[in-house]
Structure formats: structure tokens, C-alpha cells
Structure 1
Amino acid sequence: MPRQPLSDDLARLRRENEELRARADEAERRSGLFSAICDALADPVLVTDGGYRILLENRRARSLFHASPGDPDERRRMVEVNNFLFTSFLARPRPPMVEARELTLVDPDTGNELLFEAVPAPLPAGAAVPRDATVSLLRDVTELRKTSNQLGHQVRRAQQAEVRARGERDQLNLILAHVGAPVVVTDHRGAVVMMNREAQRIFRPDAIPGGAPDAAAAANADRFFAAVEEFALGEEAAAVTRVDLREPSSRQDLPAELISGRIRDGDGATAAVVSILHDLTHEVENARLAAELARVNAGLEHSIREATAELKDQNRELAWQRQELERAYRHKSEFLASMSHELRTPINALLGYTSLLRERIYGDLTPRQDQALVRIHSSSEHLLELVDDILDLAKIEAGRMPLHLEPLDIASLIGELTDGVEPLARRKGLQLRVDVPEALPVLVTDRFRVKQVVLNLLSNAIKFTHEGTVSVRTRQLEGGVEVQVADTGIGIPPDELASIFDDFRQVDQSSTREYGGTGLGLSIVRKLLGLLGGAIRVESEPGQGSVFTVTLPLRSVEAREGEEAIRRAMQGEAVIVHDGVARPLPPPDSARG
């Protein structure tokens, strides 16, 4: 057989190659179309091998089971959870027939829980299909389950509402049947719709099992329904009518009050009339009791008048006693105020002689003697401070506290005080912060008393603060200056804020032993500010600290003390104002008593 030319073999090979290429292109097109169709599905589709590894998946499945290297850690953890849940789902024993089973996953982007109906089906083995391969379709039923739950909830609510309505209707019927007053419901034509048992006993005893017609009941019905019919013909929404009936069983008079109300339909016409009969038999007894009560009240009024006269006598006696107490208290304050020199002199002598002894004026001392003198000197200084506080309080109460008016640079005073207490704050490990603007107005006030006020607040802040900060801030107000002392100390309970300015008062009386002091500091501060025309307020929270805010006026002189004192003080002259009179300040060596 003659052999075919080589060109024919090449042509045949080209045709077969083109056919294979066309088949490959078609297969690739179909594969791309199939992938596009799978990616277009809203539900995840996955193909897994026998080891539950994902071989193929559509776009929705990749969003649930795959994470990129740049994804946040939280999303990567969610993807790991989904893979674990899906693998566990596939590993569970499968029923003989392919059926949907529930699978719970997590949305990696939002963290919300998703519910799927998963339908796993085995793939037939082939050249391109691994053994034990499975295709799984996950149908998202999250919203469907929510809707189903909502519908079920609404159905249950409707059923419960129906049960409640039925129960309320039965309960209403039961209440009407057992209510003690006669109740009758009639329609717009006057026909009886409902009548409780008590109404039947009064109007229709024959309607009660075992009852019989009664003439008195018939007469009662005639009067009653005549009144109801008259009301129904009118337009009033409700009416009260007096009707006289008779008790069928005892034949006694039964005065009653008929209360009728109209029920209208959607068009405003009368649909029904509800009538309730109120027994007035007890009205007479009530009237008798009212008369008896009036007689008793008259007797009580007489007794009250006598008691009132006795109370007036007692009040007059109490008023006299109060005046005597006030006089004695005033004499006490005046005595203490006048005794300032006598009380300070022996204490100053103690301080002077202990200082001389410690300076070895009277000879050498042993260490124990020197230590004893230090304690005597410290105790004397503390006693002098206590005496000064008590005497200041007595002077203020006796009206004998003079004001020494002079121009005051408040910023300079704050700097002087903070420099003085800074070593004490540093020893306690506290941070002292000062915020004082440069442009503050010059005050006309008593420099010593303002210094006494601010120093007291600073000392208290440091004393009651174990750690943190003590801050001093000032700012200009309209007509004055505000000084604020804040700390991070023990704070003050809300129920104690109103009493911290009382005489001899500390927040916790037991803290006097821990922190020392007489409890007069804040009381004197408030009284001094009252003399200076200023005010103080406090804000505090236990364990968080306290903020004391002082306001000082530009001129610490009341109107009764005149403009002359202000004018002389503004000219730089130190002026003392006492009992409404302005005088030059005594020489520096004079006692300020």
C-alpha cells in the first residue's frame, strides 16, 4: 500500500489540534460560566474532599471561610471558627438520604450569627473528582428564621390578648353578677340587655330561680324604668335621679339614687344605657352621726382654745428664757473678747521663757531638758493658736472684730502663702499647683483677715490630703475676685456639707483625734468672710477630694461704714473700721487684740 505524503499527516494533525483546542476553549468557557453562575449565587457552595478540605467554593463561601493576610485579627478568628464549625458539621454521621440540616456560622465582617440549611451530597468518583468528595449547598435562612420567630411571637401575643379579653369579659360578668348594687343595662329602645342578681331581686324576683312575682317589685320596676326612659330621651351623657322604692322582702322604704350613663355608637347615637342604683338608707344614719360629730367638734374646739391659751403662756415664758440665754451668751462672748490680752499674756510668757532657755541664756541644758523645752514650746504655740481661734470667734459674735482696710494685691498674697506651705506639702509628698493670673484688681480689704482665710483653707487641704495635689486658682469676677482651693483628699460626705461651717465641728468627730484641731477653722472663715462682704461654698465627694471657693468683693466695707474709709484706703492709708467709724491704723508695734 503506498504511503501517504507527510503533508497529509501534518494537515490531519493540525485539524485534530484545532478540534482539541476548540474543545478546550469550550470547556474553559463552560467552566468560567459555571464559576460565574456559582459566584452569582447568594448562598455559599463548597466542594470538599474526604479529609473535609475545601477544594472549590464560590464567592460567598470564600467570604465565610477564607481570610487574607491583611485582614484584621478579629476577622481571621471568625474565619477559623467557621472552618471548625463546618468541618464538625461534615464529620457528623449523615442520614441515608440527602436532607437539609441546620448549620450556625458567624459573619466575619460583622460578628453577627448566621443560620444556614446545609445540604451535603456526595459526588460520583471520576478522573477529576477525588474519592469521597462532597458538594455542600448552604442556604441562608437567618432572616427567614427571624421572620418566623417574629410571626410566632405575634401569633402568641394575639392568642394571649384573646385569652385576656375572654378572661376580662368573664371577670366583668362575674363582677356585675356579684356587685352589691343593682345594675341594669338597657338598649336604645328601653329593652333590658343585662340585669344583675341584685337588680332582679328588687325589680323582677320571678326571674330568680325559686322566686315569684311581687307587687312591690313591680311598682319598683315601674318607677325605675320610667326614670331610665326619661333619661334615654334626653341628651345628657350622665344623670343622677332620686327614686323612692320599697324593699320587696321587708316592705320597708328604700330611698335610692339612680346613676345613669349613656353609651354611644360610632355615629353618636345612644346604643345602651347603664343604670346603677345606690342605696341611700344609710344617709339618715350618716346625718345623725354628722350631728353627733359636730357636737364632739364643738367640745374639742373648746379644749383646743384652752390648750392654745396655755401654749401662749408657755411660749411667753420660753421667749423670756431665750432672751436670758442670748444675754448670757452675749456676755460670755464679750467677756472672752475682753480677756484676749489676759489669756495671751501667760502663753506668750511661756513661749518667751522657753525660747530663752533653749538659747542657753540661763545656762547649759541636757539633751532631755532641751527636748522637753521643745515640746513645751510646740504645745504653747498650739495652745496660742487655739486661744486665738476661740477669741476671734468670740470677737465676731460680740461684734468687736475691727477691719483694717488697706489696698491688697491678691496675687502677691497667694504667692506668699503658697511659698510658706510648700515645705509642708513637700514633706507629705503632695504636689502644690498655683494658677494666679497677673492682671487681678487691687482689693480694698483687711489683708490679715484675707490671709487668715486662705491660709486656713490651704492648711486644711494639706492636712486632709494623703496623696495627690493641692491646687490654688484665682480669677476675676464682676465686682470681685474668686479664690479656689482644691485637693484630692478624703472628701466630705454629702450629708455633712451643711454642717462643716458650724462652731467646734469636724466632718467626723473622731477625726479630731487623727488630724487635730478644734473644728473652729471653717466657722471662723465663714464669719470673717461675712465681715469682709464675701462668701464661701464647697463641693466635695468622699474619697475624691474637696473644692472650697471664696469670693471677695472689690471693697470690703458695708454701706453704713461710709465712703470715707474707702477713699482713705485707696490712697494708701491703712484704715481701721470699727463700729461704723474709720480711724488710722495703730503703729505696727501695737497689739491687734
Structure 2
Amino acid sequence: MRIRNKVLLTMSVPVGLLIVQVMTVNHFVRELQAAVSFIGSAHAVIEADFVAEEMVARLRAQARQLPSRAVAAAPASAEERAAQRETWDRLDASVALITASGATKAAVPQAMAGLTEALAGARARYAEAERLAVDGAADLTTLIGPAIAAERALGDLGTALTRTTVELRRELRNAVERERAIHDRPVIAGVAIGGAAVLLLLAFTWFFVDRYLVRRLMALSGSMKAIAGGNLRVPLPPAAGADEVADMARALTVFRDTAVEVADQNLRERQVVLDTIDYGVLILDAGLGVVMHNRAFRDLWMVPEAMVRPGLAMADLLEILRRRGVYNVRDGEWRSYVDARIAAIRAGSGPPAEWRWPDGRVLQYEIVALPDGGRMLTYFDLTELKRVEAELRLAKEQAELASRAKSDFLASMSHELRTPLNAIIGITEMLVEDAESDGDTHLEEPLGRVLKAGKLLLQLINEVLDLAKIEAGKLELQPEEFDLRALVDEVVETAEPLADRRRNRIRLDADPGLGQAQTDPMRLRQILLNLLSNACKFTENGEVTVTARRHGDRLVLAVADTGIGIEPDQLPQLFQEFHQAGAAKHRKYGGTGLGLAISRRLVGLMGGDITAASEIGKGSVFTVTLPDRAPVTAAAA
């Protein structure tokens, strides 16, 4: 039999008793409600009657005073008239409440019409007497009759109210006695019938619901919670029987078996993926028990697969690894070491940390918190990477030593080369002068070429020497205070011959208040001449503009030309040593490729910066920004 049929059959008796209880209690409750309602309504009517009788007494007194006040010519004041209207309003309201009350309709229905007629008659006679008193034309004899009639009408109204109250009080006493008589009947009936129903329900709950349903459902609920928590191997309650609980148990068994099969399949697939990873992975559950690991983890720790079984506690795994010689921890410190490792794993994610083993290997160890509360531990073997890093570090140090040796060599060789080259240039200049004075014109051309080549070679050696000094940190600035406008004018004047060679015009745009600057004037002149030389070299039949501005404590010097421009992909390498921007066809302009590199190094030593902007076919702009007071000593490049 299905559970529903069993429950309906067993519940029919207590449900029938409950229906009888409800009907019986409802009957007594309706009677009790009627009595209570009458008592409440009667109390309200009695209170209204008291108020009405008080108003009638007050109006009767006023009616008796009407003749004397009319004779004395003392009409009522505004306050007295307002009080009189309020008295009549309260009387009307009280009589209306009495006649409209359910208690009056039930106890003394004949009084309602009499009260209404008595009130209307009293109001009419009082109004007539009050009108004659206010008119002033009537004599005392004429006024006394209406006043007495009004007073009697009010007396009749009071008598009617009294009769109504008397009758109502008698009915009220009867209602109170009836309410007391039936007051406890609903409770007695409810307790008697309800007690029997409750006893039957308790018996049903004990013998059927608890022992037959609840225990089986609780067993099913416990199994479901365990499965939802991830324990797919939990035992299930018996599925015997033909009711719904047995059907649920069978359905849960099918679901559990399917979930176990899917979980096993997913585990196998995840294991295959993990085994393809070349670094160690260990996955723990929320209780820090082993869930799975990969082949790289076993190879890294040199443990067989059987020793790292699923469900193994992390503390036990640490003990296994300790016995294999992984940890170099003394016995007295082992317990605290394990506690610290477990606490760190429970804390969750953290930055990767390096771990050196006793055998010299280096691991990178990281903890990753998983969404289900578990942890994933990853282990990267950095031994080979550390070896390569050490080799690279050694190679870098050797390269830096070689670079410093190269710089020292260049500085030394540049000094050694300049001495004989100065002699060659000097002797060649003397030979050129002698040839001119002796008229040996056939010697002027070859001697001029030798002199030009010597000067170019000397310029190259000077540039190499400057670069070597900067790289070796031996170049020192010689700052002094000077007039910036005078220096700019001098540089422009010096560059005029360079511009004339290619038919260019130099234009100066300088602030009138440039003022004084304190830096190395020789090096600043070298920078500006270098920029002007390049501008004149790569411009033909054009214009070169020199701009000088002061912005607070910063100096801004710019050299712009209308030359061939620089390709965008060449701008990032523009200030590198021995670099010449542009394609091979632009190399016809010559140059060593050191000028801009040295200029940028010098500007940096002065605490400033140099930038370049260009557009092919429209020219270039080089901007130097410097503090008006430069540092004294250069730092090594």
C-alpha cells in the first residue's frame, strides 16, 4: 500500500474527531460572542443614557430660567449660546447612539420610537419658548406657559430615558448570567474532543510516522548530505518495499552509482592531464587529505605511487618524506615544523617560495586555495634554472669587466693617438703655408686632403675619448655661471659656415630674459654645435631654427630643421652609439654616429633630457631640457 493511502486511512478517525470538535466549539463560541456583544453594547447604551439625562437636566434648568431672563432683558451671551448648542448636540448624539444600539433593539425595541418622538417634542417646545423670550414683545404670563411646556417635554424625555435604562439593565443582568453559564463550555468541549484526537495523532505519529517514515527518511537524508559533501562511497538505506520511500532509496542508489562512475571517469581524465604536467602537483581536500597527485610529484620526491594513496593526511605524508631523507630537521624540532607547514597550507594562497634540499636541489613551492576549500601544492625544480642564472650572472660580470677594460683602453689609446695626430696636423698646416708662400700650387690639394683627414680623425678620437670617459665615470663637469644668451649667439655664429655650405639659413628665437645659467658651458656648447651640425648636414636650401626658453628653473633649447627627416622606426635607436638613422642612401652625409649618443650622455650628466621628433620630408626637432644649475660630478655610465 502506498504511503498516502496508509496516512489517509489512519488519519480519518482523528480528523473526524477534530471536525466534531470544531463544530461544537463553534456553536458555543457563537453563543458566547452574542452574549459578550450584547453586554458591550448595553454598557455603551447605559453610558450614553447617563450623558443624555445629564443634558436633559441642564436644559430643564435653562428652560425654567427663560421667563426671568426675558423680563430682566438679559439675553444669552455668545458663549452661553455656544454651550447651549453643544448641550443639544450631545443630547442628540446620545439619543442616536441609544436608538441605534443593538442592545436597545434586542431588549426594548418599543423604546426607540418613543425616545425619538420625545426628543423631537422637547426640542420644538424649547425652541418656541426660547423664541418668545428672545422676541421681547411677550409679557411674563405669555412666557411662563411655553417655558413650563418645554420643561415638561424635557421631563418626559428624561422619564423615557430612565425607563429604557431600567429595562436594559435587567436584560444586561440576564446576559451576564448567560455568559457565565456558557463561558467554560467551549474549553471543556475542545479539551475533551481534542484530547481524544491528540491521543490518536500521537499514537499514529509513534507507530507509523516515526518508526515507519521518519527513520527511513532520516537515513536517506543523511546519505544525500554525505553524497552532496563529496562522499560518494557512503552506505545507503535498504530499498525494500513498494512505497515512495523505497522508490527514493532505489533512485538514490542509481544516482550514487552513476555519480561514482562519472567521478571515477573524471578522476582518470584529470590524472591523465596532471601526468602530462612537468612540475609536481599535489591536490588536497578541505581536511588536508590527499586527493590526487601527478607523476612529476612522485618523481620529484622519489616516492612510489602506493605510498601517496588518496585520503592520506598531509602530516603523515610529511612523515613519509622525512623518512626518505627529504627534510633535514632534528627530531626535537620536527613536531613544530610539521605544525608550521600545516598552518601555512591552511592559510591558503601566498607568494611562491624557494626551498633548498639537503642534496642541493632548489624547488619553487607554492600553495593555491581551491574553491571547494582544498589546496593545490605545486613544486617546480629550479636547480637547472639557478645554474643557468649563475652562469649568466658570471657572464654579465665578465662582460662588465670587459666593458670597463674597453673603456679604459679607449681612453688610454685616444690619449696616445691624439699626441702624434696633433703633430701631424701641425706639420701639415706648416707645409700648406710653405706651399702657398713658395707658390707650389701642385702641393696645396694633397696637403689640404691630408689636413682635412687629420682633423676628422682628431674629431673622431675626441668623440671616442669623451664616450670612454663617460662610460668609465671619469668625465667631470666644470660648472660656472655664464650668460646663456651670449653662449647661444656664439654657437649660432660658429655654425654659420656649416649652414652656408648647404645654402641654409639659421634663425634664432630666444627669450629676451634668458638670464644666467650655472652648468658646464663648454659641454653645453658641444651639445648645441652637435645638434646644429646635424641639422645643417641633413638640410639643403632650407632653414634651421634655434629656440631658447626659460620655464622657471628649467632651460629648454631646441634645434629644428626643414631637412630630410628621420623614419619613425629609427627614432628609438637614434641616440645609440655608432648608429646612423636612415637607409644606406643617407650615409652619404657621413659622420661617426657618436654625436647624438655623446650629447644624450652629456645632457644626462647635467640632470636633463633630450628628445627627438621628426617627419619624413619635413624635418626634425631636437629638444634639450636642462636645470639652470647642473650637478658637479658625472656618474659612471
Question: Which interval holds the TM-score relative to the shorter structure?
Answer: 0.3 to 0.5
> Please, what TM-score do these two structures have when normalized by structure 2?
0.43
Greater relative contact order, per chain length (Cα 8 Å cut-off, separation 6+): 2
Structure richer in helix, relative to its length? 2
TM-score, normalization: structure 1? 0.46
Which protein shows a greater Rg?
Answer: 2
